[in-house]
Amino acid sequence: MTIPTTYMAALLLCVLSMLCWGSWANTTKLAPKWRFELYYFDYAFGVFLAALLICFTFGTYGSEITFQDNLTIIRLRSIAYALAAGIVFNLANMLLVAAITVAGMAVAFPVGIGLALVLGVVISYFIRPSGNPSFLFLGMGIVLGAIFLAAYAYKLLQDERNKGLPLPPAPETKRKQPVKVSPWKGLVLSIIAGLLMGSFYPLIEMTRGYEIDMGPYAILIVFSTGVLLSTFVFNIFFISFPVQGKPVAFSAYFKGTFRQHFLGIAGGIIWCIGLAANLVASSVPPDVHVGPAVSYGLGQGAVLISTLWGLLVWKEFADSKDKSRLFIWLSIPVFVVGLALISIAPLYARN
């Protein structure tokens, strides 16, 4: 297996992970007429394809043990945890993509992934207390404040869009008119996605701590297998009971264009590269390990990147008035302050 042996390599992997996790969702925005349920089949294929390529290259060369060797000598319990992590993540991510479809990146990521951050802090602290609890929980409270600001901004935006819309036309008329949209669907999807998303990384951590740890590449291939297999199970529900629009037939997948299929696969590949970089960076030797403050801050910086993509590139609040735009932009520095406090908490641990 290829494992970095320098601090700079580990740091660059953290940066790569942040960029990939903050940018993969752009592929959903580039295919606006492609249902997210159909997009997600390609996304899952992309995750698994990238995992195979990474494992059979970087996971095979570089040291005396390969990822296949690692899989044969670790406990089955570790494999079960990695598989469960992939399944839990996949359901959370499908709900996140649904939330992006309904509410946009600038809302789904800070609400969903921000909530996952808070949940992850709480679970990690009670499983293995570390860091200064005052900084941890103060930072967590501030992040919750940022989540509230983003959610409130989206509610104001939807209220602005709904204001003044005409009543639905009479049944005998076949005219299409704008329909009022409730902000709660997008927020509820983001919240449920966040609650599930906060649970998958603790499962990955549970693959370690035995006589022989499960290496990053072994985790990656088992995790991606869980993603691919569970997609066909979960998508039966989403196709039959869509969060938006009418039910779609599975046969519609084969009617997609090359560009639509390519974007889904690309989204999965980008996300998987981010996961691989994160797992490998966390497996470097202790003497070149990136400090907890830096690695944690960079990892969660993906939320800020995705929010800025939504605001600056996709103009998701372009039609908003000053009040809603103020709250969504205010949520960004508030999130940064909360993230900074959580990141530096390990540096001020109480003895």
Q: What pLDDT, in 10s, does the model give residues 225-234?
A: 999 999 999 9
Using DSSP, state whether 314 is helix, strand or coil.
coil
**Cβ–Cβ under 8 Å, residues 40 and 231:** yes
Does 149 map to a domain? yes
How does pLDDT run across 177-199, given as a tens digit for each residue? Answer: 566 778 899 999 999 999 999 88
Q: In this predicted structure, what is the pLDDT of residue 185?
A: 93
How does pLDDT run across 336-351, given as a tens digit for each residue? Answer: 999 989 888 878 877 5
Does 283 map to a domain? yes
Does 5 map to a domain? no
Does 168 map to a domain? no
What does the alpha-carbon distance between residue 220 and residue 217 come to, in Å, rounded to a whole number?
5
The pTM assigned to this predicted structure is: 0.93
The amino acid present at 103, given as its one-letter code, is A
Q: In this predicted structure, what is the pLDDT of residue 85?
A: 95
Domain containing 295 equals 10-162+178-348
**Cβ–Cβ under 8 Å, residues 21 and 271:** yes
In the chain, how many domains are there? 1
Does 46 map to a domain? yes
Count of beta carbons in the 10 Å neighbourhood of residue 290? 22
Q: In this predicted structure, what is the pLDDT of residue 211?
A: 72
Mean pLDDT of the region 317-343: 91
By mean pLDDT, which of 36-45, 97-106, 291-300 is the weakest? Answer: 291-300
Does 170 map to a domain? no
Contacts of 48 (CB under 8 A, 6+ apart): 224, 225, 227, 228, 268
Does 195 map to a domain? yes
Does 2 map to a domain? no
